[in-house]
Chains A and B, each alone.
Chain A
Amino acid sequence: MFVNFDFDVIRRSLGYLFLDGMTFTLTLTALSALGGIVFGTLIALMRLSGFKLLGRIAGLYVDFMRSLPLVLVIFWFYFLVPYIGQWVTGASRPVNVGAFTSALVTFIMFEAAYFSEIMRAGIQSISKGQPAAANALGLTYAQTMRYVVLPQAFRNMLPVLLTQTIVLFQDTSLVYVLSMPDFLGAASKVAQRDGRLVEMYLFAAVVYFTISCAASFAVRRLQARISIVR
């Protein structure tokens, strides 16, 4: 059944697939995860701050983002980011920001909603005695969070944050809808150029599968190690 297949097309395009495509995918994943965790932690702090209005705004943001499909959000930001750029820089016309920046802003804003739920659970898992003790020692709110609560919350939630990052890694393939050159986009470009859809899509599937499997296996190992320490 594989007689008519030309698996050499994969070897010929390996350089483009990995040096361009996979680099794009991994850079986007890493930067989005970083930005998403930072922004998500801020949202979680807002929700737990005790200020009703601040908490309400953060809650609305999270619910809003979580009820929209990522594809729609990608389209939204693709058209919105130039206008935001214009507003921020005070330019006279919408700013041309480029595909990568637009994708990065999208994923940071979208994933922050999911990361914030994880960080919120992490912060809530810290016993009340910790901030109380920090308070008794005279630490300010910022110091309590910076030195006492967040390091522990982050550590407890590390496996979940990493699992969400694996989901994010898979989700970055959706930039395909804007014809961006991520790994899947690169594979699909070669597939269409050479008329080799079957070979390229099977190869892309195998690569995504291998990376995700290896990553989730590593996360499971990490989880086991962390839970022994505590």
Chain B
Amino acid sequence: MSYNWNWSIFFEPAPGGTGTYFDMLLRGLWLTIQTGVCAWIIALAFGSVIGVLRTLPSKTAYWIGFAYVEFFRNMPLLVQLFLWFFVLPELLPRSWGLWLKQIPDAPFYTAAIGIGLFMSARVAVQLAAGIASLPRGQKQAATALGLTTFQAYRYILLPIAFRIIMPPLTSEFLNTIKNTAVAITIGLIELTGQARSMQEFSFQVFEAFTAATVMYLLINIVVVVGMRFLERSLAIPGYITGK
């Protein structure tokens, strides 16, 4: 291969005067984690509400949940980010639009909200499936005890459903972190973005991308190990995922 490897490039100062190339990648890693976690919190919050709506007996609630999920699932994430970033400020009243465009860190907020809502549709589907997998007796027993629908979900159905769907939620969390790389298109310089700019500045393509790859693998390993620990301590004895 006619390629000049230079692994010491990471310790050379990067243009911009803010440390070495390695520092640059670390800043990207940190931004990837921040964006991923913020997006995941939004995904869990919205996904839980929509997931519950999909399981309620009310027809209206079901249709709202259905429309929400179809809306966010049938458009590429990239297009959704463009809608939030380029289109939304133009559709709002002028002064709001101007305010939106002037927010510092707009790519970060757009990415967190856009990816969060995109993933919330997936969380909703998982949660609805988790609630539907519970034996009917759970809901009936809760009703027989005089719990309202809200109480039944709050104290009986949701705690069990969430513990059952822990494994799929782990992979959705990993997907959220991976999806933050799409935000490179709206100018968020996260890990992939930093690797890309390192490649442009230093011409060491493969070193830059290898480092980013290793960092993504590390994130995955940390999350998988952490979640496995959490899954084991939260597993319900007697269920498939339990001991």
**Which residues does A use to contact B, with CB under 8 Å?**
1, 64, 67-72, 75-76, 79-80, 83, 86-87, 92-94, 170-171, 173-174, 176-177, 184, 188, 197-198, 201-202, 204-205, 208-209, 212-213, 216
Contacts and interface: CB of A to CB of B under 8 A. Distances in A.
A198 B90 contact: yes
Contacts, number: 104
Contact of B76 (A80, A92, A208): A208
B-side interface mostly: helix
A185 to B, nearest CB: 10
**7 closest Cβ pairs, A-B complex:** A69-B181, A212-B74, A170-B76, A67-B220, A71-B181, A69-B178, A173-B76
B209 interface: yes
Chain B interface size band reads 35 or more
Contacts of B87: 197-198, 201-202
Contacts of B75: 170, 205, 208-209, 212
Given A176-B78, A176-B185, A69 B192 contact: yes
Contact of A198 (B80, B91, B180, B182): B91
A69 B3 contact: no
Interface in B54-111: 70-71, 73-80, 82-83, 86-87, 90-91
B86 A69 contact: no
B183 to A, nearest CB: 9
Interface string B180-222: 1110110000001001100100000110010011001100100
A-side interface mostly: helix
Given A75-B209, A205-B79, A205-B82, 7 more contacts: A72-B181, A76-B213, A93-B2, A177-B185, A201-B82, A201-B86, A201-B87
29 contacts: A67-B174, A68-B216, A69-B179, A69-B181, A70-B181, A71-B182, A75-B192, A76-B209, A79-B199, A79-B206, A80-B206, A173-B76, A174-B76, A174-B182, A176-B185, A184-B79, A197-B90, A198-B86, A198-B90, A201-B82, A204-B79, A205-B75, A205-B79, A208-B74, A209-B74, A209-B75, A212-B73, A212-B75, A216-B74
B240 interface: no
B1 interface: yes
B78 A79 contact: no
Given A67-B174, A174-B182, A198-B87, A72 B209 contact: yes
A177 B184 CA distance: 8
Contact of A72 (B74, B185, B206, B213): B213
A156 to B, nearest CB: 20
A184 B1 CA distance: 35
Nearest to A175: B78
A69, A170, A184, A205 pick with most chain B CB within 10 angstroms: A69
A171 B76 contact: yes
B107 to A, nearest CB: 15
Contacts of B77: 170
Contacts of B3: 83
A176 B86 CA distance: 16
Contacts of B180: 69
Contacts of B2: 86, 92-94
Interface string B220-241: 1000000000000000000000
